Structure 1
Amino acid sequence: MLSTRENLHRSGKGGEGVKTVIRGVVLAAGLVLCAVYLLPAVFFGVWSLGTWVGLAAGAVMAIGAKRWPAITEFCRKRRIRWLSGGILTVSVVLVFYSLALCGCMVFGALQAPPKDPEGTVVVLGSKVNGTTPSADLQARIDRAADYLLEHPDLSVVASGGQGAGEEISEAEAIRDGLIAQGVEPSRIYLEDQSSDTEENIAFTLQVMEENSLSEPLLIVTDEYHEFRANLIAQHAGAESYAVSGATPFYLLPACVAREVLALTKQLFFAWL
């Protein structure tokens, strides 16, 4: 029979082994996360807020896992064990919160219109480099063109203003791209004053009202963006559906990280 002390010693060693495995998994996940954000930045030049957020999250995970024994020992010696527990709790909450928002993004992208849709297609703008659509805007244009050619009775509003480094408005870039792919110019309406998603929707609804275009809005944007765009449309009292474009793979990590921040602002700090 093992003594009580021996049993406690063995269970303690087993617990330490589990903790070591968990730290190893978190360390590996942090390094993978850093690679997912760093590789597109190095090879495709994707440096954005989302890139830095993803790199920071991965670095915190990796360094935190590596140094966790030292952190807990520091807190024990300073008699502030609550601090290490608080750090761990906040970290777990943030991970699950981010995963929940990613789930919302997937849900939003799946809210497709009926097979025989009515309403108005709305293409949301994104960066234009001079007069050339960025990769994600081109993906939206391509998806919208395919959808409009499949449904020749639908009209479309190209939505997006002109920002820094853009020689034409995003709406004009969308219009030109649609015409180049065979969409009749008479089907295209421009909204060229907006500077963010909320203005995209608000100003597009004005254009629709002025031109007697019907709802629902059939919103063409990237998959990750559909949930927020449709949320804004529905808060504005408009019925809407998702017509999702395929985000280029090398842009997706940074875009999703940035969208987590944008959704957080939309859900909790819309008054700012």
Structure 2
Amino acid sequence: MKEIFKWILILLTPIVLVYFIIIHVQIQRYSYMEVPKQADYLIILGAKVEGLIPSLSLQYRIDAAANYLHENQHTIAIASGGQGSGEDITEAEAIRNGLMEKGIDASRIQLEMKSTTTNENIQLSKSHLPEKQDIGIIVTNHYHVYRAVSIATDENMIVHGLSAKTPLISYPKAYLREYLAVSKYYVLKFFSKKG
């Protein structure tokens, strides 16, 4: 029995490694997407807020969004994210506050304050899209762009990914979590097609 288990392990290990390498290549490819100018909207995905203060991951998303909004004055922003434990305000409010501190006018910012997952971020943000919604951008940390854009594409949205930096300290946990999240996304997508 031990011998059989050993051979199964020997055979499966390279397959699993190749699978995760393929996911990693996709993550990297999407994190370097070119974004169009003058998009109709951008959706900034929420991340942890510590009390009232955005986590470094969220701050990087706010910074990337603010830079784009300054250069593209007709683009509106949708700040997306509900309120989790340890958060005194919603992630959407933290994003709005951060954008306003960087000089973005409040009239350009819509709030989606109920979502708790990436899927919900995308789905619930759809009701906030402007009338003209030909080109959209999803703003998130670089490791997360591939899955976020894939989910939005499944929702019939035409979007590009704007990659924000990822804090170095977050890399191991972020990537491991994302490999698992992408795997879950693949499985759910496979079964939804079957159903």
Provide TM-score, normalisation by structure 1: 0.67
Superposed CA RMSD = 1.6
Alignment of 1:88-237 (within 5 A): 88-114=10-36, 116-208=37-129, 211-212=130-131, 214-237=133-156
Distance 1:252-1:265 versus aligned 2 partners, 3 A rule: same
User: Could you report, residue by residue, the CA deviation over 1:6-48 in whole angstroms, capped at 9, with x for unpaired residues?
Assistant: xxxxxxxxxxxxxxxxxxxxxxxxxxxxxxxxxxxxxxxxxxx
User: Structure 1: which amino acid aligns with 2:115?
Assistant: S
Where 1:241 maps in the other structure, the secondary structure is strand
> Greater helix share, 1 or 2?
1
- Corresponding residue number in structure 2 for 1:83: 5
Give the gaps of 5 or more residues in structure 2.
none
The equivalent of 2:168 in structure 1 is 249
Question: How many residues are matched?
Answer: 191
Q: How far, CA to CA, are the matches of 1:250 and 1:105 in structure 2?
A: 18
* 2:121 match: secondary structure: helix
- DSSP 3-state at the match of 1:218: strand
Residue-by-residue CA offset, 1:109-147 (whole Å, 9 max, x unaligned) = 122222x33220110000111111011001101111111
How much does 1:158 deviate?
A: 0.3
2:159 partner letter? S
1:174: Cα distance to partner? 0.1
Q: Which amino acid aligns with 2:72?
A: H
1:242 maps to a residue whose letter is G
Residue type of the alignment partner of 1:159: S
Measured after TM superposition, the shift of residue 216 of structure 1 is 2.1
Distance in 2, Cα, partners of 1:107 & 1:233: 17
Aligned partner letter, 2:167: P
Unaligned runs of 5+ in 1: 1-77
| C-alpha distance in 1 between matches for 2:153 and 2:78 | 17
